[in-house]
Structures are given as structure tokens and as C-alpha cells.
């Protein structure tokens, strides 16, 4: 701690919190950044870990490494569980407290299951490195188990992947799975034809990537279909069970279901005893502070705030970064006796990737599709990847994957019981019966021999 400098506590090391900490680095304040994890994750590339293009280490960096030159910033591994606003302190999971003069809450969001949290086991979402590794495990295991079934029984159930939600994450996942099934995995599997893999993308509205203009979303749908993805619009998933999803009234069998829709802000919003919207986002003042608590700011995916034209600031990483920087500036201004300024979101355009050489972009007033949009996306993402080493490794991985159509991070890790569990999970509860029957059949066959 640097003497009597104002003490700023930041909760969360995502884009919002990290950008705030960076803007406060080596200023006359004492900063503590608290996160449950020791690393910052570059979330826009999580889907590439889930589809085994990149390794976890390539899109994550230890927070204290990123901030090691900031002499006034402490990084603390801990889980904030509550706030003591009266005494200006945050509570950690073991009951200890950290006091603040200013508090910046940037704990982000997770996916929401619209009240069906029990679906999570069958249909994992994608917010953390652990989520991504779990998705990777399931995707790769599905192919392994189909190969195994084909080897042992001569044929295998059709390989079906379902992605729920046609936003950026859903589109990226669906495109990437279709891509690895048709390219990277095809020659490694000898008993199954991975190119026959079916990838179905369910979207509730009448368009994928609904935040883009209709001409771009039409292109996105076409690019997805070129990759072999079946896009089903106006389709609501109404139930999920092991090995199947219900769409409208029909149950559809599938090996893997991936969840890519719904947003629920961190439950810490409620702990602030503040007004929140339906997704749990905290309504904030124009300077991102909490009503009646001017020294508490809520930023990033946890904040609900509208732009001047009345539209909400979107829950995207550029918005979180801008909020982090703006909040840091307001605090530094106030310390110097200057007034705060209102937060103004600057939309620098948006882009979404669909697969190899496939993307859409709406940037600098230009609407781009296909290879050009993809190059834009590639360049920007590498540019923003934190840390030179990661940047270099990612470029190399991508270049390698592009040239060879290989996927290098194809590891299935997990505990020793993974296979048994996977068999149970992937083939659903009925499959347990099938498996048991098969093993009985085998035993019977053997003893008859």
C-alpha cells in the first residue's frame, strides 16, 4: 500500500477490471484487484480452445504478470462473496475483509438457462477456461466413442452436434465443429466418416447474429451452410436431457449439446442491494456509479446503462474496456478535485467469425463478408491478445492450422473415470441400459462360444 493514497478495490480481472487497473497503474492511488482465478482470459477466443485450435495457455495470462510493472497495484486471489457498504469493505470467502475508498465491481456474467439450471450438465456453456476444456472434452470424446462403436459393433449411431443460440459464440462453435469434422479429424478416424457429422444450430429468432444488418446476417447464414451447418431459425429449445434436446414438440437425439445463449450477470449485483434488470445487471448512473453510493462503480457485463439514443450499451468486450478506462479516469479526476464525466460508449464496429476464411464485419462504415472480413477479425484479435508471447504463439497456431488444417490442441483430459462417465453422459440414460445389455450380450456370446 502506498501510504495514504485513496484505496481502490477492483472486483474481477476480466476486460473491465483489468482495463481499469491498467489505467490506474502508477497513479497516486493504491489499487487491489481481486479475482477468483489467477489469470485473465481473452474470452473472444474461448471457442477456439473449445474446438481444440488453441491451448488454454495461449488465451490466458496470469493477472499479476500483466500488472507486474504497476507498483501501486496488488493482485489478490480470492472470491468476493459480499459487500459491507456501511464500512466500505468487500468480504472474501473466508470472512476476511478488504477496505476501499472506491470500489469497482466488474465480476462479469455467465450464461443463463432461463430458469433451467439443471440443463447445464447436459449442455455446458462457454465463459471460463474450464468451460472451454469441458466442451473440447465432449466434442472430441463424441468422435472417439463413435469410432469405438464402429470398431466394436461394425456401425455407429449418427454423429449429431447441437448448438443452442445463434449469437456470435453459437455461430463460432457451430462453424468450428463443422470445420474440424470435415477437415482436421477426417483422416485420423478410420472406422467412421467424420465428414458426415451433423451440426445443427438452433436460433429462436428469425436471424443468426441478430445485431448485424440483415444483408450481413444473410451472408452469415449462407457461410455457415457452406461449412455444412444446418441452421434452424425460429426454433426454441424447450427441454434438454442427456443425449437429446427438445425443439418445439420434437426430441432430437444428439451426442453433444453446447449452450450459447442467455446472459446472467454475476450474482454479486444482487449482493450490492441495487436495482437490477431481468438479467441481473445493475442499473447505474451516467458515470457508472451506484445510485446513492457515488464511490461504488459497476462496469462491464454487470452494468445496465443506455446510450444517448436510448439503446442499451451492448455486453461486449470493447464496452467493458471503455467502462474500465472511463471509471479510472473519473476516480483520478475526482481525486484532483475535478468533476466526473458521463460514460459514452464508442461503437467501433463489430465483427463475427464463422470459420476458416469466413466472417462478417461492420467496421469503419464498411460491410465486409468472407475472407476479407475474416482477415480483419484475425488481425484485430491477434492485436488485442495480451502479451507478446501469446500473440506469437497464436499466430503460429493459426498459421499452422490454416496450412495443414490440423488441430493441435486435441487433448482429452480429465479423471480416470472420464470414459465411463462419457459413455453414460453422451449416450443418455437409455444408453446405460444399452451398454449393460451389450455387455450381457457379449458375455452370453462368449460363454456360448
* CA 165 – CA 261 distance, rounded (Å): 5
Min separation Cβ 297 and a second copy, Å = 22
In the set 3, 4, 190, 346, which binds a second copy (CB under 8 A)?
190
What is the closest distance, in whole angstroms, from the C-beta atom of residue 85 to a second copy in the complex?
A: 13
Residues 2 and 159: their CA atoms lie apart, in Å, by: 59
Quick note: the x/- pattern for a second copy over 287-326, rule CB under 8 A, is ----------------------------------------
What nine digits make up the cell of 345? 460508449
Segment interacting with a second copy (CB under 8 A) among 166-174, 183-191, 268-276, 284-292: 183-191
Residues between 87 and 116 with contacts to a second copy, criterion CB under 8 A = 87, 89, 93-98
b/e 101-140 (16+ beta carbons within 10 angstroms → b): ebbbbbbbbbbbbeeeeebeebbbbbbbbebbbbbbbbbb
- Stretch 200-229: interaction string toward a second copy, x if CB under 8 A: ------------------------------
Q: Which is nearest to 352 in space by CA: 341, 363, 342, 344?
A: 363
Closest by CA to 122, choosing from 426, 418, 412, is 426
Between 344 and 389, CB nearer to a second copy = 389
Q: What residues between 395 and 424 interact with a second copy by CB under 8 A?
A: 396, 400, 406, 408-416, 419-420, 423
Smallest distance, a second copy to C-beta of residue 126, A = 15
Q: Which grid cell is 220? A: 452469415
Pick 370 or 414: Cβ nearer a second copy? 414
Look at phi and psi of residue 212 and say left if phi exceeds 0, alpha if psi is from -120 to 50, else beta. beta
Could you give the residue numbers annotated as active site? 172
Q: By CB under 8 A, is residue 249 in contact with a second copy?
A: no
For 305, residues 6+ apart whose C-beta sits below 8 A from its C-beta are 283, 284, 286, 288, 312, 313, 343
Other CB atoms within a 10 A radius of the CB of residue 315 amount to 18
Q: What are the angstrom distances between the C-alpha of 444 and each of 148, 411, 420, 423, 448?
A: 21, 36, 22, 22, 6
Q: Tell how far CA 197 is from the center of its chain.
A: 24
Q: How far is the CB of 318 from a second copy (least distance, A)?
A: 25
Interacting residues with a second copy between 25 and 84 (CB under 8 A): 32, 36-39, 55-58, 60, 62, 64-65, 68, 71, 74-79, 84
Binding map of a second copy across residues 348-387, x = CB under 8 A, - = no contact: ----------------------------------------
Least distance (Å) between residue 279 CB and a second copy: 20
Asked if 439 is part of the footprint of a second copy (rule: CB under 8 A), the reply reads yes
Report the DSSP pairing between strands 289-290 and 350-355.
unpaired
CB-CB contact of 208 with 164 (8 Å):
no
Nearer to a second copy, 133 or 237 (CB): 133
For a second copy, the binding residue among 21, 107, 109, 129 (CB under 8 A) is 129
User: Taken in order 112, 115, 119, 120, is the CA torsion positive or negative?
Assistant: positive
Closest to a second copy by CB, 1 vs 366, is 1
- Within positions 137 to 166, which residues make up the interface with a second copy, using CB under 8 A? 140-141, 144-145, 147-148, 151-152
Amino acid at each position: 500500500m502506498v501510504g495514504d493514497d485513496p484505496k481502490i478495490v477492483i472486483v474481477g480481472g476480466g476486460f473491465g477490471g483489468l482495463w481499469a487497473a491498467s489505467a490506474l497503474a502508477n497513479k497516486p492511488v493504491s489499487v487491489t484487484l481481486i479475482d477468483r482465478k489467477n489469470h485473465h482470459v481473452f474470452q473472444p477466443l474461448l471457442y477456439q480452445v473449445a474446438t481444440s485450435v488453441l491451448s488454454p495457455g495461449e488465451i490466458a495470462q496470469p493477472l499479476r504478470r500483466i500488472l507486474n510493472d504497476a507498483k501501486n497495484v496488488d493482485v489478490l486471489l480470492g472470491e468476493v462473496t459480499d459487500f459491507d457498504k456501511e464500512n466500505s469493505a468487500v468480504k472474501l470467502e473466508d470472512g476476511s475483509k478488504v477496505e476501499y475508498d472506491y470500489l469497482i465491481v466488474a465480476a462479469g456474467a455467465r450464461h443463463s438457462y432461463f430458469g433451467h439450471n439443471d440443463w447445464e450438465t447436459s449442455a455446458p456453456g462457454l465463459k471460463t477456461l474450464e468451460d472451454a476444456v469441458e466442451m473440447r472434452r465432449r466434442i472430441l470424446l463424441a468422435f472417439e466413442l463413435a469410432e469405438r462403436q464402429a470398431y466394436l459393433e461394425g456401425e455407429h449411431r449418427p454423429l449429431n452436434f447441437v448448438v443452442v443460440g445463434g449469437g456470435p459464440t453459437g455461430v463460432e462453435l457451430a462453424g468450428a465443429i463443422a470445420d474440424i469434422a470435415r477437415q482436421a479429424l477426417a483422416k485420423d478416424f478410420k472406422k467412421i466418416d467424420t465428414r458426415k457429422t451433423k451440426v445443427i444450430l438452433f436460433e429462436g429468432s428469425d436471424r443468426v447474429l441478430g445485431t448485424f444488418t440483415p444483408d450481413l446476417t444473410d451472408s452469415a447464414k449462407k457461410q455457415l451452410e457452406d461449412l455444412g451447418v444446418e441452421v434452424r431459425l425460429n426454433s426454441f429449445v424447450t427441454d434438454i436431457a442427456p443425449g437429446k434436446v427438445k425443439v418445439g414438440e420434437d426430441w432430437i437425439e444428439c451426442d453433444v449439446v453446447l449452450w450459447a445463449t442467455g446472459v446472467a450477470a454475476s450474482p454479486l449485483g444482487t449482493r450490492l442491494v441495487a436495482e437490477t434488470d431481468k438479467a441481473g445487471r445493475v442499473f447505474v448512473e451516467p458515470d457508472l456509479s451506484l445510485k446513492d453510493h457515488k464511490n461504488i462503480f459497476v462496469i462491464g457485463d454487470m452494468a445496465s446503462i443506455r446510450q444517448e439514443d436510448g439503446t442499451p450499451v451492448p455486453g461486449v468486450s470493447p464496452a467493458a474496456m471503455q467502462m474500465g478506462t472511463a471509471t479510472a479516469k473519473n476516480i483520478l479526476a475526482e481525486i484532483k478535485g475535478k468533476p466526473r464525466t458521463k460514460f459514452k460508449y464508442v461503437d467501433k464496429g463489430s465483427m463475427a467469425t464463422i470459420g476458416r476464411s469466413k466472417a462478417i464485419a461492420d467496421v469503419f462504415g464498411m460491410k465486409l463478408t468472407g475472407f476479407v472480413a475474416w482477415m480483419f477479425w484475425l488481425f484485430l484479435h491477434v492485436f488485442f491478445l495480451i502479451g507478446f508471447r501469446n500473440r506469437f504463439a497464436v499466430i503460429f497456431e493459426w498459421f499452422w492450422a490454416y496450412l495443414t488444417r490440423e488441430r493441435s490442441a486435441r487433448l482429452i483430459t480429465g479423471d480416470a473415470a472420464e470414459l465411463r462417465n462419457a459413455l453414460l453422459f453422451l449416450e443418455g440414460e437409455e444408453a446405460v441400459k444399452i451398454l449393460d445389455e451389450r455387455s450381457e450380450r457379449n458375455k452370453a456370446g462368449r460363454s456360448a462360444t
